[in-house]
């Protein structure tokens, strides 16, 4: 795999508040890459820096072997799909999509051909003469997408691409974005706060928090082996128990001991991450507690129970054994389940 974009030690502060703190990332050719983080994590600043709208305090952005840190946005071979779509309201759908090609002074015939075929690809073949205010949210997004890829940029940046859409349209667009990325063969970099969106679309994900990259990995790897407690907590649902290991048990800070036979350095402070599916509700369970809430999904149900382990425990039960809030419960997990997470 060749590195297309090398973000090297990039830092940026606003009023002495670090938005990007020594960020380094490598994005490969034809990858669908997601930058995931809560609001204020610096992900949007990073995206705007890639597009050229934010200058860097330090570091390099090397695109295809060229340092673009000082290249203005209109000269970068990168296009951005804005969160608000930013369609030009005084132009038709066709003129919106043709905007970038016209600035390249392409021949009329080529422009018409490329715009028309791309509009057909995104399913808007019969909308070319419409004004943008006559379109639905999903259609606007397709126009914005077509406008951003018509110039065949080396990288397409997408800022929260699905956040403005209804749930049903979102699911369709997720598939559509994947399909389109394969079809046009452009590297996609998506910024999102929605982990479901990132997990379902991206080949690799960078998790950001407070201006730093916490972990870069595939969705499966992030879920199975979070690199630190922030990622463990942010990705998916989990119960994170803090303590130290000693002779096959985890000693919590409140003195309670729970099973954990995973290999780790004895005595060092660790977090034991248990996914809801790791814990079972069983009459033979050694840990007792009280159900404080239930969340029914259909095939199964997420139960939150207070078991005296410093934080409530979250676990799954089948739909035939859903407890009621206030019920006493018994749970257990095998000593070799879960993942040991260390502070980074």
Partner 1 sequence: MTGVGKLGWVLAAVCFFLYAPIAIVIVMSFNASKIPFQWTGFSTRWYSELFANASVLEGLRNSLIVGVSTMILSVVLGVLLAIGITRHSTSSAVQALALAPAIIPDLALAIGLLALFSAISVPLGLTTVILSHTIFCMAFVAAIARGRILQIDPALEEAALDLGDTPRGVFFRVTVPSLMPAIIAGALLSFTLSFDEFVITFFTNGPSTPTLPIVIYSMVRFGVTPEINALASLVLLFSVAIVLISQRSVKLSQSI
Residues within the interface to partner 1 (CB under 8 A)? 51-53, 72-75, 78-80, 82-84, 86, 88-90, 99-100, 103-104, 131, 133, 147-148, 151
Contact of 139 with 87, CB cutoff 8 Å: no
Shortest distance (Å) from residue 74 CB to partner 1: 5
Query: Are the beta carbons of 111 and 102 closer than 8 angstroms?
Result: yes
In DSSP terms, 280 is beta-bridged to 332
Tell me if 124 sits within 8 A of 139, measured CB to CB.
yes
- What span, in angstroms and rounded, lies between the C-alpha atoms of 117 and 124? 10
C-alpha–C-alpha distance, residues 300 and 302, integer Å: 7
Q: How far is the CB of 97 from partner 1 (least distance, A)?
A: 10
Which of 8/131 has CB closer to partner 1? Answer: 131
Give the pair of three-digit tokens for residue 338. 């879960």
| C-beta closer to partner 1: residue 84 or 319 | 84
Between helix 167-184 and helix 137-149 the angle, nearest 10°, is 20
Q: Identify the CA nearest to 17 among candidates 45, 59, 37.
A: 45
Q: CB of 52: closest distance to partner 1 in angstroms?
A: 8
Least Å from the CB of residue 206 to partner 1: 22
CB of 178 to partner 1, least distance (A): 23
* Alpha carbons 258 and 249: distance in angstroms, whole number: 6
Nearer to partner 1, 97 or 213 (CB): 97
Measured from the CB atom, the residue of 131 and 212 that comes closer to partner 1 is 131
Q: Which is nearer to partner 1, 149 or 207 (CB)?
A: 149
């Amino acid at each position: 795999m060749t590195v297309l974009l090398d973000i090297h030690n990039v830092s940026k502060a606003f009023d002495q508040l670090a938005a990007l703190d020594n960020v380094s990332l490598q994005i490969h050719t034809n990858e669908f890459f997601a930058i995931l983080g809560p609001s204020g994590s610096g992900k949007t600043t990073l995206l705007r820096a890639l597009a050229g709208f934010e200058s860097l305090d330090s570091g390099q952005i090397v695109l295809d072997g060229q340092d673009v840190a000082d290249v203005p946005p209109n000269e970068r071979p990168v296009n951005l799909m804005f969160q608000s779509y930013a369609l030009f309201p005084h132009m038709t759908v066709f003129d919106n999509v043709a905007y970038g090609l016209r600035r390249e002074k392409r021949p009329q015939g080529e422009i018409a051909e490329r715009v028309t075929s791309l509009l057909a690809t995104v399913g808007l073949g019969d909308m070319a003469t419409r004004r943008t205010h006559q379109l639905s949210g999903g259609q606007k997004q397709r126009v914005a997408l077509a406008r951003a890829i018509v110039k065949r940029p080396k990288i397409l940046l997408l800022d929260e691409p699905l956040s403005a859409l209804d749930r049903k349209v979102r699911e369709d667009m997720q598939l559509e974005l994947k399909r389109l990325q394969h079809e046009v063969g452009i590297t996609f970099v998506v910024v999102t706060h929605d982990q479901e969106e990132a997990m379902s679309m991206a080949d690799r994900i960078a998790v950001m928090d407070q201006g730093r990259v916490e972990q870069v990995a595939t969705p499966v790897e992030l879920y199975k082996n979070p690199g630190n407690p922030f990622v463990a907590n942010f990705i998916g649902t989990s119960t994170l128990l803090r303590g130290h290991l000693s002779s096959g048990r985890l000693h919590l800070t409140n003195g309670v001991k729970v099973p954990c036979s995973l290999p780790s350095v004895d005595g060092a402070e660790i977090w034991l991450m248990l996914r809801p599916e790791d814990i079972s509700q069983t009459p033979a369970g050694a840990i007792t507690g009280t159900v404080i809430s239930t969340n029914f999904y259909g095939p199964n149900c997420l139960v939150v129970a207070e078991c005296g382990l410093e934080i409530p425990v979250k676990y799954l039960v089948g739909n035939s054994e859903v407890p009621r809030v206030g019920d006493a419960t018994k749970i257990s997990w095998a000593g070799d389940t879960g993942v040991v997470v260390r502070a980074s």
